[in-house]
Amino acid sequence: MSAASAPQFHAPAGTIIGWTDGPVVRATGIRYARAARFQPPVAEPAAVEPILATAAAPACPQVADPRLAVAFGDFYADATFDEDCLRLSVTRPADFRPGETLPVLVWVHGGSYVTGAGDVPLYDPAALVQEQRVVFVAVTYRLGLLGFLGGPGGSPPNLGLLDLREALRWVQRNSAAFGGNPALVTLLGHSSGADAIAHLMVAEGTAGLFRRVILHSAPLGLAPNRGAMTQAMRAAVGDVEPAADVAQVLAREESVNQAVRRFGLKSGMPFGTQYGAYPLPAEADVEQAWRAVAPAVDVLVGATAEETRFFAFIDPRLAWIERVPVVGGLLTRALVRITSNRIYLKPARTFARRQSEAGGRAYRFEVLFSPAGPALGAAHTVDLPLLLGTRAGWAATALLGASSWERVDAAGRQVRQLWTDFARTGVLPAAVDIPGVLRLRQEPAA
């Protein structure tokens, strides 16, 4: 496709040249900000020359986690890695009609604040965009030591959160050029991405940047009382020269794992947001901050029924439990139930209840979908193929077991419809039961 015939979007950011990909149009790898290492992001100024947006956003450099391949195979197929990763990608229907105004979904990927990227192939939004007619924005941001440590006397904490805030400002300025409605922005996040969104709700400078949030599997049970662990992490990392090779930075990041082992469940996600550091309130004040913003932000929050079964499946250090004669299966199920409830399910209920009590609208869901055959069950990440990705991408993973794509897609269509109804209106039925897929309830007003 020649530049003259390629889709062009005339936005405040500049003239953006995208590309047509079957039923959708994409504009990929658009820079929304720049940042020197360990420094806050600076918004990208309007471009004088056209922006060629035809390559995927690079992923933030990260320490490879070989366990991910157990569930996802080649998670980073064809990916590039670069600290200059403050990019986003926009997807909209190819048959967009002039004058049409679409809700905007902003995707914040998960990965325990240390892995992942916005343009990972498994997160392809094409089906969601075509089927539900939305503008989809996938954001890539800084991770791990580059984005989520820092502290007194060193680099600022919460840099990755500031990256996300800057991306949302870009969406407010530019989404209308893609047919999106900046007054109908919904943040959609999974795992640590959902945790980040929950904290963006109470971050300074985010008021008015989004109207709704959808929180999948946010590990909110790991958020409180992290101060001692964070101090241990800083001590383990030591001083990192801003000019050090990125490989040296990542080597320091690996040293964190040993330092945090004594902190129990929290050590499963050592990096994360820090209360009391800009732009977040102090931990003692965060509860009231969530209550204060509740009337302005609609919430859809939930988790899968067996969240932590995923980690038991991918981590060889936990696999021995299942092999214990006679009682192995019982022990695994008991541990999955206890840890899933503590880290994900109970905190989601608490979040929804507080939202409703404070005068906001809240819905709570539980994903029941369980792949056929000897797979993971209704575990962490099993909800992702219901929302994003393609037959070819997910068929290459172990996550779906023996399930056909037809079964996955049929379940996913129902979820995608509900989620985009929420993005458009903020209103869902008070009770939804899709057998074997999803249970949803509106949190009653106090």
Q: What is the mean pLDDT of residues 364-387?
A: 90
* C-alpha to C-alpha distance for 146 and 38, rounded to whole angstroms: 6
User: How far, in whole angstroms, is CA 62 from its chain's centroid?
Assistant: 16
For residue 325, pLDDT over 80 is answered with no
pTM score: 0.96
Q: Which residue has tokens 């469940």?
A: 265
| pLDDT band per the 50, 70, 90 thresholds, residue 3 | low
* C-alpha to C-alpha distance for 54 and 36, rounded to whole angstroms: 24
* Largest Cα–Cα separation, the chain: 69
Pairing of strands 8-11, 14-17: antiparallel
pLDDT value for 435: 97
**How far apart, in Å, are the Cα atoms of 190 and each of 259, 303, 304, 392?**
26, 9, 11, 21
For residue 324, pLDDT over 80 is answered with no
- If phi over 0 gives left and psi between -120 and 50 gives alpha, with beta otherwise, what is residue 425? alpha
| pLDDT band per the 50, 70, 90 thresholds, residue 1 | low
Structure confidence by residue, pLDDT tens digits, 222-256: 999 999 999 999 999 998 888 899 999 999 998 88
Lowest-confidence region among 179-183, 275-279, 326-330: 326-330
| Active site annotation includes 175 | no
Structure confidence by residue, pLDDT tens digits, 8-32: 999 999 999 999 999 999 999 999 9
Q: What is the dihedral of CA 384, 389, 391, 394, to 10 degrees?
A: -50
Compute the half-sphere exposure of residue 59: CA atoms within 13 Å on the CB side of its CA: 24
Share of the chain above pLDDT 90, in %: 79
Within 10 angstroms of residue 37's Cβ, the number of other Cβ atoms is 16
8 A C-beta contact, residue 209 and residue 279 = no
* C-alpha to C-alpha distance for 282 and 259, rounded to whole angstroms: 24
Within 10 angstroms of residue 39's Cβ, the number of other Cβ atoms is 13
Given the residues 307, 340, 356, 370, the one annotated as active site: 307
For residue 312, pLDDT over 60 is answered with yes
Given the residues 190, 380, 403, 443, the one annotated as active site: 380
Given the residues 191, 340, 356, 403, the one annotated as active site: 191
CA angle 363, 367, 372 (to 5 degrees): 165
Q: What is the mean pLDDT of residues 292-312?
A: 95
Within 10 angstroms of residue 146's Cβ, the number of other Cβ atoms is 28
| pLDDT band per the 50, 70, 90 thresholds, residue 374 | low
Domains of the chain: 8-303+341-370+409-442 (3.40.50.1820)
Amino acid identity, residue 5? S
pLDDT value for 34: 98
Structure tokens at 261: 């082992």
| Mean pLDDT score across all residues of the chain | 93
8 A C-beta contact, residue 403 and residue 332 = no
| Active site annotation includes 307 | yes
Pairing of strands 24-31, 87-93: antiparallel
Structure tokens at 196: 């980040």
